[in-house]
Amino acid sequence: EVRLVESGGDLVQPGGSLRLSCAASGFTFSSYDMNWVRQAPGKGLEWLSYINSRGSTIYYADSVRGRFIISRDNAEHSLSLQMDSLRVEDTAFYYCARDLYGDHTLDYWGQGALVIVSS
Amino acid sequence: SSELTQDPAVSVALGQTVRITCQGDSLTSYYANWYQQKAGQAPVLVMSGQDKRPSGIPDRFSGSKSGNTASLTIIGAQAEDEADYYCSSRDRRGNQPPVLFGGGTKLTVL
């Protein structure tokens, strides 16, 4: 069974940092590209970042480029999102999602990690 | 424009057919994916590419595309289909394939 489990969500002050992790199991993690997507409370989905299976190709949404860093550890079956210079508007549920074909068809999602940015 | 537009809300009577649409320039080049999100849950892929249903998705769900408009059709809507539905596609801008999401359609089954 494919499982993606996010962790690391927390309450953080504006300007602070947080690192989210996504533990993958039930599939060959090193064979799949991965993505982060977020959803502000009561709002729609926003794609944030993509990393290919080897970690050699990375993309970011304009809203987080320069502040967030995506990375992966294939040996540990883990995806991460380092978030710096956090803003109030970064408050959201953060989901990791598996990329089925490498074309952003997201076939499995984690349950989400809640990040609250507030003073 | 680099946006995907969805109707905010749609309703359907139990057992009837409903079409949820998604419009955007990127759809002239790429197919849409569709995600279902029930209250308090993570999104679930229900349709990808040219009418591809993931395993476990009922065959009452189907997808289509014409020009710059993609559609998700539910034939014989059930109470459990009540959810938010989001379309997505790749973005045409530049060489990067960032991902676009539509604003979502809240489906109510009456």
Rounded Cα distance, B87 and B83, in Å: 13
Contacting residues for B72 by C-beta, under 8 A, at least 6 apart: B19, B20, B21, B22, B34, B46, B47, B61, B62, B63, B85, B87
Residue of chain A nearest B89, judged by CA positions = A104
Task: Please give the share of chain B, as a percent, with pLDDT higher than 70.
Answer: 93
Say what the pLDDT of residue B51 is.
83
- Which residues 3-32 in chain A show a CB within 8 A of chain B? none
Q: Measured on CA atoms in the order B17, B22, B27, B30, is the torsion positive or negative?
A: negative
Residue pLDDT, tens place only, A60-100: 998 999 999 999 999 999 999 999 999 999 999 999 999 99
Q: Look at B90 and A104 and tell me if their CB atoms are within 8 Å.
A: yes
CB A79 within 8 A of CB A50: no
Q: Which one, of A55, A39, A9, A18, lies nearest residue A109 by Cα? A: A39
φ, ψ (nearest 5 deg) of residue B37: -130, 110
Q: Exposure of B60 by Cβ count < 10 A (0-12 exposed, 13-18 middle, 19+ buried)?
A: middle
Query: What are B54-80's pLDDT values in tens digits?
Result: 999 999 999 999 999 999 999 999 999
Least confident range from A31-35, B90-94, B102-106: namely B90-94
| Residues B18-36 as b or e (16 or more Cβ within 10 Å = b) | bebbbbbbbbeebbbbbbb
Tokens 């967030």 belong to A68
Nearest-CA distance B27 → chain A (Å): 14
pLDDT tens digit sequence for B10-49: 999 999 999 999 999 889 888 999 999 999 999 999 999 8
Average pLDDT value for residue range A33-52: 95
Asked if B17 contacts B76 with a C-beta cutoff of 8 angstroms, the reply is yes
- Minimum distance, in Å, between the CA of residue A89 and any CA atom of chain B: 17
* Chain A nearest C-alpha distance from B69 (Å): 18
CA distances from A12 to A8, A22, A24, B10, B68 (A): 11, 19, 25, 37, 41
Does B101 sit within 8 Å of A45, measured CB to CB?
Answer: yes
Q: Is A107 on the interface with B (CB under 8 A)?
A: yes
Nearest to A93 by CA among A78, A81, A105: A81
Q: Is A44 on the interface with B (CB under 8 A)?
A: yes
B 55-84 residues with CB < 8 A to A:
none
Nearest to A95 among B42, B100, B104 (CB): B42
Smallest CA–CA separation between B15 and chain A, in Å? 27
Kindly list the residues from chain A whose CB atom is less than 8 angstroms away from the CB atom of residue B33.
Answer: 104-106
**What are the distances in angstroms from CA A111 to CA A9, A54, A114, A116, B5?**
12, 24, 10, 16, 26
